[in-house]
Structure 1
Amino acid sequence: MHPAEIKVLLIEDDEDDYLITQNLLKQISLTRYLVDWVSTYEAAEQILDDDDHDVYLVDYRLGREIGLELFQSPQRRERPFILLTGQGDQDIDLAAMEAGAADYLVKGHISAAALERSIRYAIEHHYTLQALRTSLRKHDDLAAAIDQISTGVVITDALAPDNPIIFVNPAFLRITGYDPPEILGRNCRFLQGQDTSSVTLEKLRRAIQNRQPFFGVLLNYRKDGTPFWNELSVNPVFDQDGQLVRFVGLQTDISHRIRTEEQILHSALHDKLTDLPNRTLFTDRIDQALIYSKSQKDLRWSVFLLDIDRFKMINDSLGHRIGDELLVQISQRLLESLGEDDTLARLGGDEFAILLHHRDSPLNAIYVANQIHQSLEEPFHVGDHDVFVSTSIGITLSLTDYENPEDILRDADTAMYRAKDQGRSRYAIFDASMHDHIVTIQQIETDLRRAIAQDELRVYYQPIISIATAQLVGFEALMRWQHPSRGLVPPDQFIPVAEETGLIIPMGEWILRQACQQMNAWINLGSATQNLQVNVNLASRQVCQSGFVALVQSILNEYQLDPKHLKLEITESTIMDDMNVARDTLEELQALGIAIAIDDFGTGYSSLSYLHRFPINTLKIDRTFISKIDTHESDLNMVGVMVLLAHNLKMNVVAEGVENETQVQILNRVGCEYGQGYFYSRPIPAAEIAPLLETMHFPIQPEKPLP
């Protein structure tokens, strides 16, 4: 039956779900749906018994009540109703079928086509059952009435011993693959196959014994042995004297629907790229492990959080397609390091997680971490590329009393970042000191926000000197923090926090403004200062900041500072974080007339091979190389090579951390143009710069470093 107009009663306590359902029904063009809505269990109770709707959509949960209980009575049980629920659950599905529901739909995964199909099936099922009952009371020849329907029909003789089959329709034969001679006269038990749910099968047998209706889903097998999911409705038929005469079974092959639901559930719980469990499923696995740990005290497990080192650089240089294929290969190699009981998940991006069940002791976690690092040492062959990767691993152990998965993942994340701080291809196991460190970082962040608001930041300037002439050529602007209780805080104690939290953006703009304003004031003092430059450090977040170049231009205009007096310093790691963005930004800055310097050279990738691709004017050699050039020949040779290569690339060189006259003489001998360090001056406030500007030269007497 396919009526052009269908009356629907929606029993649903959420108005949003009512509006969604109404909108879905409006999308169906061939049928007009008249939707009535009741929002409470009590309201539905009042109208159901004398109601004439064609189909009923009922929410599983109606406040504190269960919607299925509305259809418990025999009269209501025969009504065509469909259960709606917020989440897929096998127990709810089973309860719906046993209660007589024609179908079971999961909110959020219902399309207009699926809803229409479900409604039409419910109505057809209802009218088929009605017709069968009427026909059974009037005559025995049912073939003409039911040969054309798509639902499989089987009728048994309840008066004969062993309840033999006396009728099947063509749809039943098509679904099962049997011929009539193989079925007629036999009991239905041979059709039940090997159901995966013995509970459901037992309920069917008990319903037949008690002469009661049954509705459920069974896994049956066709004649050729292929399995199919059978949605089965069995109803007793009584004659006018109340004697049981027949059982009528209606069956539908719902294998496609089951597969679709399984696919939806699989997609909801697995990563699309790698087909590994996603964060939702992985969190559930941890939750189960926590539950088992409470009942089995000797159960030991650990959680790994893995982040691929420098993966962004691979994506930027080789493309996202290569990056995706690499992630698939990495996941396959990680699986090879794990046991069958372990779980590998992809949480997103290049972040993986492992739930590791210890087969002997917690020390196994360390063994597996080393195994993972070894497994990644061999290159990955992706397209035409050989790609080398490493991973940083954070580990949490079940020895700690955790209550929820979120805390475990949080601590694994903390340990993973500790591993990154130690270098590439490392692991770290979470301990209480890491938590204390995080608390300290959070306090620093809170204090920093106050410092910005209350003007506690300061700028100190360290002179940069010509090594050959001892003449002042410029300054590096360095940020300090005048903490109300801790005093003057050095940058290495708060800049990393500022970079991690994003506070470096407003702080970076602040120091750039201060330095440009101060440099303008010094240049206006007279002709001696006309060639000075001020160096300002840039963080990675600033380089990638949208509109950063325009901001720099605006600040220069505001303080009327010629761009030649400004030099911006970046580190190697800043360039490598996003090479394409860094190159574009630096080229735009240089086009304005601003010079660019590479800071702390030698501590990052220690390679000049990529520098020719970037508009760099100055190379600043890190203090770790300079401090030993007067005592270690290897460091002296290294500095000499750096200076030579920098000059070949048309760059000048600044030596950082110069501390004595011997170092100055050596640097002069290898051709290094400029020096910066305590030999000349420590970083000092702007107010102390005036005497230096009077002479523009420095005495050859080193100052003692601050403790």
Structure 2
Amino acid sequence: MHFFKNLSIQSRLLLYVIGPIFVLSCLILLFDFKEQLQNEEEKLSQHAMTTAKFLSAVIHNQTELQGQDYIKRLLKASQLSREPYLSLIITDADHHPLANLGTSFSVKEALPKQDTMVMQQSTHDITMVKVFSTATQHQLLGYVFVAIDKASMIEDHREAFIKNVGYITLALMLCSILVSWVSRSISQPLRDMTAALKRFVIGSQHVTDGKNTLPEILSLQSTINQISKDMQHVEADMRHRIQDAQAQLRYQARHDALTGLVNRQELERRLQQALQDVKQHQANHVFCYMDLDQFRVINDTCGHLAGDEMLRQISMILSQRIRAEDTFARLGGDEFGLLLSYCQVEKAIEIAAQLRQMVETFRFMHEGRLFQTGISIGIVEITSALKDVGEITRHADAACYVAKDNGRNQIHLFHPEDDVLLKRHVEMEWVLRINEAIEHNDFVLFCQGIFPLQHKELPPFYEILIRKRDEHGGLIAPAEFLPSAERYHLMTKIDRWVIQHAFMALQPLFKMQSSVSPFIVSINLSGMSLGDAQLLPYIQKCFETYDILPSHVCFEVTETSAIINIDNTIKLIKELQKMGTRFMLDDFGSGMSSFSYLKHLPVNFLKMDGAYVKDITSNKVDLAMAKAIQSVAESMEIKTIAEYVEDEATLDCLKEMGVAFAQGFYLNRPMPLNEALARHIGTIGNQQQLAAAIAPDLTI
């Protein structure tokens, strides 16, 4: 099949037309040759039979065969010596030849089994007829043999057949020439069009010139020419579209989709050019890092769409002050970057002050509500001492955070010796260390007991605390790394790590005992986690994975974070309380609107702010605040917890006020969680003694 697929039109016509005709013609000739030869043989055989019967009839009237002379005269008189007779023989009854004419042969080859018979040989036929006497009834007198020559007849027909085959071959050769000419008149234009199409592919404007006369080929050429013209228009249009798309992609790769400003990647490229310009030509360039103040409030209050619209409006306002040679970029979120080209530091500070004033006077209106914001700007002069773009952005970022730490809506110029910046760099280093600690499980879970003061049926608490191992195996307090985690949005990762590993520590406790003694583990959740929509599914999955009873778990949130994410917090509390978990509101009293928000938060426990508890025995105001919190909690049937219990006097005061639980160094110090759980399972005598000292009628 592969051979036929590769044949040209001319070859296919010759093969499919001439070939079958030639074969068919030869078959017809061969059939005709055989039929004619058979007819001739039948005629000769019939003629020989007639001759033999004639001779036998002449001899038949004799009473006996006469002598040889008579028979020879008879054969000569019959004039049978001409073709196609090979020989004529007359024998007596014993097959003894009496007379013959022509070539002799053995008469014994023709067995006289019948009165008449024909024996066919390859080159001749022998016809035999018996001769009987009429005088005596059927007396056998002898035999008449007639041999007919077939070789000459076959040769004549063979020559005629070969001659006819030659005529047919000649005719087919003429037909082949005609077919080749016709096929070439079709295939050659096609080859010309193929070559023209190849030229068109590489840039030719025309495919064929239409010199052919065949209507079909002319129509095909005309169609291809029209297609080529259309393709030229399509190609031109496609080229323009590709150029537009490439330009659009280049623009999108370099600009922010929301504001249309230059993006971070393009800004960093231009900062690299500016740094090289400074090192090679001592040019003056300044970079400003800008961060909107309290932008998250607008996002949380009005939604991301409102926040995006505010960013677009501020970008348009600030762009009006940017010089043509400068680069104003959005770095992400509410952060912007400004590269002031060929600008002195003094002029840069002046421009930054104008930008700060423009943002300060800007008012954003959304659904009838008016919002005002500020902007903190960190400035760094690009000098040859800076190594790379990363160092430029780090210095500017650090200067911006100093501006925020100085009260927000401020401008700060980077100074290498600035102590605040050093602290900022330390915090940035903590980001890497925190991520590594999460990845390598370098955190350690501690806990501190929270003990009941009033009623023995109340279960004890274990508040989960976190520490970090240092490179020497020591422990680092959370105050060292949690501020950095909050600033760099790592608290969600830490909270999830704490939840997972706390549940892993609790799991053996439930597997070892069929009935677990009452206790509650309290796990802190940050404000960032409260805003995480995936926190609830994660907690539910942990309960299912580690098979922990929800009634033994309490989640603790600070008042400030709960208020900021109040809707998410309420939803989270209600969903987890359906499972059986409990919630505690920590640092209550630190906010200005604590009591107004408390009635909206369905918490089970209320932990007083330690600032009121630690001086409760010496400060009347703190005592009054603590009593007010206790009174409101009792009216709402919420149990209270007092932290920072440092002495017996404070403990007694809290018991007298009716506080339900107490926590502090006077009662116990933090210990590893596994150790605390082991004590709860096994030897808990120390806890019983402590509980007896706090509440004599309580048994843990």
Q: TM-score, normalised by structure 2?
A: 0.54
Q: In the TM superposition, what are the counterparts of 1:134-533 in structure 2 within 5 Å?
A: 269-297=254-282, 299-311=284-296, 313-335=297-319, 342-356=326-340, 361=345, 365=349, 368=352, 372=356, 375-376=359-360, 379-399=363-383, 401-413=385-397, 416=400, 425=409, 431=416, 433=422, 434-435=424-425, 437-439=427-429, 441-443=431-433, 445-450=435-440, 452=441, 457-467=443-453, 473-483=460-470, 485-495=472-482, 500-501=489-490, 503-504=493-494, 507-514=497-504, 516-517=506-507, 520=510, 529-530=517-518, 532-533=519-520
Q: Does 2:568 correspond to 1:597?
A: no
Contact preservation (8 Å) 1:556, 1:562? yes
1:697 equivalent in alignment to 2:680: no
Alignment partners' CA distance in 2, 1:301 and 1:372:
16
Larger RCO: 1 or 2 (CA < 8 Å, sep 6+): 2
Contact 2:271 2:389 in 1 (8 A): yes
2:584 maps to amino acid: A
Q: How many residues align?
A: 461
Given the alignment of the two structures, is residue 53 of structure 1 paired with residue 199 of structure 2, yes or no? yes
Task: Identify which range, 544-553 or 389-398, moves more after superposition.
Answer: 544-553
Which segments of 5 or more consecutive residues in structure 1 lack a partner in the other structure?
1-48, 58-78, 82-113, 124-253, 702-707
Deviation of the 1:673 alpha carbon: 3.6
Structure whose alpha-carbon radius of gyration is higher: 2
What is the letter of the counterpart of residue 694 of structure 1? Q
Q: Give the CA deviation at 1:569.
A: 1.1
User: CA contact under 8 A between 2:588 and 2:607: conserved in structure 1?
Assistant: yes
Whole-Å Cα distance in 1 between the matches of residues 397 and 548 of structure 2? 45
What whole-Å deviation, never above 9, does each CA across 1:303-347 have from its counterpart, x for those lacking one?
214255352x53343233322222223334545776676543223
| Aligned mates of 1:521, 1:533 — CA distance in 2 | 17
**Alignment check: 8 A CA contact 2:317 2:358 kept:** no
* Structure with the bigger percentage of helix: 2
- Cα pair 2:278 2:384 within 8 Å, conserved: no
CA distance in 1, matches of 2:636, 2:355: 42
- Give the drift of 1:392: 5.0
Deviation at 1:445, TM superposition (A): 3.7
> 1:315–1:322: 8 Å Cα contact kept in structure 2?
yes
After superposition, the C-alpha distances for 1:517-547 in whole angstroms (9 at most, x for unaligned) are 4775999788xx53x3221123456556676
The structure in which a higher percent of residues are strand is: 1
1:55 and 1:443 map into 2 onto residues whose CA distance is 60
Gaps of 5+ in 2: 1-194, 207-229, 696-700
Q: In 2, Cα distance between the equivalents of 1:592 and 1:549?
A: 11
What is the CA-CA distance between 1:474 and the residue it aligns to? 1.9
**In the alignment, which residue of structure 2 is the partner of 1:91?**
none
Amino acid at match of 1:674: F
* Deviation for aligned residue 1:446: 3.0
Q: For the structure 1 residues 698 and 326, does the alpha-carbon distance in structure 2 shift closer, same or farther, using more than 3 Å as the test?
A: farther
Residues 515 and 534 of structure 1 are in contact (CA less than 8 Å); yes or no, is this contact kept in structure 2? no
RMSD: 4.8
Q: Distance in 2 between matches of 1:495 and 1:263?
A: 44
Contact persistence 1:472–1:697 (CA under 8 A): no
Q: Give, in whole Å, the separation in 2 of the partners of 1:274 and 1:319.
A: 18
Question: Partner residue of 1:536?
Answer: 523
> Counterpart in 2 of 1:615?
602
Change (3 A) 1:628 1:390: farther
1:482–1:489 CA contact under 8 A, matched in 2: yes
Q: State the partner residue of 1:567.
A: 554
Q: 1:591 to 1:396 in 2, by over 3 A?
A: farther
Tell me the CA shift for residue 591 of structure 1: 1.0
| Aligned partners of 1:590 and 1:615 also within 8 Å | no
**Aligned-residue offset at 1:592:** 0.8
Please state how far the C-alpha of 1:363 moved relative to its aligned partner. Answer: 9.1
Q: Which amino acid aligns with 1:119?
A: E
Displacement of 1:668: 5.2
Q: Partner residue of 1:655?
A: 642
Counterpart residue type for residue 466 of structure 2: M
Query: What displacement does 1:443 show?
Result: 4.0
CA distance in 1, matches of 2:393, 2:201: 47
- Matched-pair contact (CA < 8 Å) for 1:325–1:382: no
* Whole-Å separation in 1 of the counterparts to 2:592 and 2:626: 15
Tell whether the 8 Å contact from 1:309 to 1:389 is kept in structure 2 after alignment: yes
Please tell me whether the aligned partners of residues 427 and 484 of structure 2 are also in contact (alpha carbons under 8 angstroms): no
- Is the 8 Å Cα contact of residues 538 and 570 (structure 1) preserved in structure 2? yes
Partner of 2:52: none
Structure 1 residue 659 displacement after superposition? 1.8
Aligned equivalents of 2:344, 2:563: Cα separation in 1: 42
Given the superposition, is the C-alpha separation of residues 368 and 579 from structure 1 closer, same or farther in structure 2, using an over 3 Å criterion? Answer: same
- SS of the equivalent of 2:337 reads strand
In the TM superposition, what are the counterparts of 1:2-81 in structure 2 within 5 Å?
53-54=199-200, 56=202
Q: Note closer, same or farther for the CA distance 1:281–1:559 as it changes in structure 2 (3 Å cut).
A: closer
Is the 8 Å Cα contact of residues 300 and 362 (structure 1) preserved in structure 2? no
Contact 1:479-1:511 at 8 Å conserved across structures: no
Pick the aligned partner of 1:119 from 235, 240, 243.
235
SS in 1 for 2:352: helix
CA distance in 1, matches of 2:331, 2:231: 33
Contact kept in structure 2, 1:516 and 1:555, CA below 8 Å = no
State percent identity of aligned pairs.
27
AA in 2 matched with 1:588 = E
Match for 1:368: what amino acid? A
Call closer, same or farther: CA 1:290–1:553 in 2, change over 3 Å. Answer: closer
Deviation at 1:512, TM superposition (A): 2.5
